[in-house]
Amino acid sequence: MTIPEKNIYPRTGDKHTVYLKDTITKPNISVGEYTMYHDFVNDPVDFEQNNVLYQYPINQDQLIIGKFCSIACGARFLFNSANHTLSSLSTYPFPLFFEEWGLNRDSVTDSWDNKGDIVVGNDVWIGYEAVVLAGVTIGDGAIIGTRALVTKDVAPYTIVGGVPAQPIRKRFSEQTIDALLAMKWWDWPKELIAKNIDAIQNGSLERLRQITG
């Protein structure tokens, strides 16, 4: 894939890390500003091909990723066409091979169960080789552990891990989580974020509250 290098590589001399938004070409994938993807195995520019799997136009399913997310090498998003229907007496995808079985071409999507889009919030960290399945929503500030298999929604600011992924703990108190979700610092202008990086990194919630009133 040939993509202009402007804005893609945020670190001088590092071709393993990209701002993901600037590599996306497909209309059914949406990525927010400053979300980064790191890949030391494949070219990170090929994220659409290597990491977004079974997302076929016939389903019109969406991958929506928010701002300031960190996605580690090998993380994958598996869409609906990876499923085989469980409502049939057989899991064999007969409608997919409509020509062989004399079926209606329009019935192809009956081969699998459609569980919906994958939605990833803002400031989410997805660990090495984690897998997120179709229909899952990951809340703002969540952390997905290394090689976790995410089959269910993840609440904001929750750490999950394992196969299948289970909650490990909340990152902060409910009061702090509510405050962060209300202030949505990731939507601030770049200049305001830059001015308050110390407060964000050091957990100075009161200082951030002064900004938002």
Annotated active-site residue in 38, 76, 84, 147: 84
CA distance 200 to 27: 33
In degrees and rounded to multiples of 5, residue 212 shows phi and psi of -85, -10
In degrees and rounded to multiples of 5, residue 61 shows phi and psi of -80, 150
16 is catalytic: no
CA distance 93 to 108: 8
Q: Please say whether the dihedral angle defined by the alpha carbons of residues 205, 31, 79 and 43, taken in this order, is positive or negative.
A: negative
Counting every residue, how long is the chain?
213
Task: Report in angstroms the alpha-carbon separations of 30 from 7, 127, 168.
Answer: 17, 20, 28
Across the strands, what pairs with 133?
Answer: 78
Active-site residues: which are they?
84
